[in-house]
Amino acid sequence: MLRSCDAKDALSLFDNLIEINFSGCTECEEVPTLGHLPCLKFLVIEGMDKVTCIGVKFYTMYSDDSYRNALFPALRKLKLKNMNCLVEWQDVMEVTAARVVFPCLEELTIKDCPQLMSAPCHFQSLNKLKIGGVCSTIFEKICSKLTTRTSLDISSVSELAFLPKQIICTSLRSLKIEKCGELSQIPEALHNLSSLETLEVKGCPKLMSFPSIQAAASLLRHLAISCGDEVLPTGLQFCTSVQDLSINDCPNLILIPDLREFRSLTQLEISGCPNLKIIPDIGEVRSLTQVDIFKCQKLTRLPQWLWDCRLNSLSIGGFCEELDVFSILSSMTSLHASLKRLCLYGWTQLDSIPDEIQHFTAIYKLSIKEFDGMETLPEWLGNISSLQWLQLYRCKNLVYLPTKQAIQHLSCANYSKTDGRRKKMELSLSIIANNIQRRFFHIPIIQKLCGYLVGAMQEGKELKCINEQKSLGSNLVAN
């Protein structure tokens, strides 16, 4: 921080700065004076744990009213993140004679400032607001005078039970709401948003109803809905321009309306709907590139249109156990040469991954989730030459890994939330060793070391100095 008597002159050295990023300055107790910088367009203030107040000094070094120019005259984007002790962000217009502050500010991000109790509300040019990890009082204060916003992103705003009516303005093109646990109501004014292109409402378990979205039908491109109602918002069937549709975590949903007019759909997700029994028809599937249908426990059959798609990505499983979804993978011939990402959700009794995976000759990433009965990964994984990324999630009884030959094509593995920490380490080390062997095949000592690592792991031997060997392998790959 500049604290000398010549600070005013010293700060002039920074007049040409366009971007400033204060990140992780954990010992700083205040933010420096920046409001006079004529060229500053981008400012990030993050992780300054000892800052409790952003006061007048942030805007100007003049304690009197002699500074009449605009403050932060060129600033376009401001981010305030992970300020755990910040309590007050003063509005300089309330305590000084300043009349023009943030005249050009277009994007404001405030994230994870849990103790913040006051903030400015004069942002005359603000278009995009991202706010999360704050109390509802701050959210309402900042939004109280916004009239030009086109994008609003709200997440983890504690105690927010309903959205203030004034935040729903006709210029809004993007509205995202996530993880607001107390939110129970969205204003009926939502049906007036004729310019809306993106609407996402996720992780709001107390939200039991949704206003009509028919007014936005013509422009809406991205739609994600999560609510506790038995039916989806009225007007959904008219949103035929939607390209990305996500319906998830709807515990009471029993019916999805006809989607046959959705001719622009490229991505579809239906998940976490335990009472849903039928997936509706889709009129045009040639545009679909990604389908995720999982954790719909009452689903007894898959939609017929799934056989006609040429997808790049498919997530499937977690249905009624009577629906043997994996046995029909071999009949999805339209996907065998196009599918690059496959994610399978299992259940407790499943003791192996389906052999039908071998039919997908272009698969790049394979995710296996919640196969609790599986103890062994099959050797035939080595037959899928295109496979480079393997993810294992909650396969808590997995004990045996494939041999070196079966995983020689892999470049990355992720093994999470299981009880097999040693197996995760062994799988990662095997992949590191294989990659090193391919890259440094001409250096005998490295070949010998890698061979020892893989061989010892496959024989179940205890590896000494495993951290040092892993570090060596990582450094060799990095270099």
Question: Is a pLDDT exceeding 90 seen at residue 383?
Answer: no
Q: What is the pLDDT of residues 393-404, one digit of tens each?
A: 888 888 777 776
Instruction: Identify the band that residue 4 occupies on the pLDDT scale cut at 50, 70 and 90.
Output: very low
Q: What is the pLDDT of residues 238-297, one digit of tens each?
A: 888 999 999 999 999 998 988 888 889 999 999 999 999 889 888 777 899 999 999 999
Q: What is the pLDDT of residues 330-381, one digit of tens each?
A: 888 889 999 999 999 988 778 889 888 998 999 999 999 988 888 888 888 8
CA-closest candidate to residue 198, choices 181, 216, 223: 223
213 contacts 191 by C-beta, under 8 angstroms: yes
Look at strands 389-393 and 412-416 and give their pairing: parallel
Which strand (E) or helix (H) includes residue 37? none
CA distance 22 to 71: 19
Distances (CA, A) of 408 to 342, 431, 436, 454, 459: 19, 7, 11, 11, 17
Instruction: Give residue 476's pLDDT.
Output: 37
Instruction: Identify the band that residue 438 occupies on the pLDDT scale cut at 50, 70 and 90.
Output: low
Mean pLDDT of the chain: 82
Question: Is a pLDDT exceeding 80 seen at residue 384?
Answer: yes
For residue 125, give the amino acid letter.
Answer: S
Give the mean model confidence (pLDDT) for residues 452-471.
Answer: 42
CA distance 432 to 474: 7
Instruction: Give residue 459's pLDDT.
Output: 46
For residue 77, give the amino acid letter.
Answer: K
Instruction: Identify the band that residue 160 occupies on the pLDDT scale cut at 50, 70 and 90.
Output: very high
Tokens matching residue 61: 């070094």
Instruction: Give residue 431's pLDDT.
Output: 52
For helices 444-458 and 421-439, angle between their N-to-C axes, nearest 10 degrees? 150
CA distance 421 to 425: 6
Instruction: Identify the band that residue 316 occupies on the pLDDT scale cut at 50, 70 and 90.
Output: very high
Q: What is the pLDDT of residues 48-105, one digit of tens each?
A: 999 999 998 999 876 555 556 789 999 999 999 999 999 999 988 776 666 789 999 9
Straight-line distance from the first to the last Cα atom of the chain, in angstroms, rounded to the nearest whole number? 38
CA distance 192 to 90: 34
342 contacts 357 by C-beta, under 8 angstroms: yes
Return the DSSP state at 400. B
Instruction: Give residue 97's pLDDT.
Output: 67
How far is residue 8 CA from its own chain's centroid?
42
Question: Is a pLDDT exceeding 80 seen at residue 28?
Answer: yes
Tokens matching residue 171: 């210029």
Give the mean model confidence (pLDDT) for residues 100-117.
Answer: 95
Largest Cα span, the chain: 79
For helices 444-458 and 466-478, angle between their N-to-C axes, nearest 10 degrees? 130
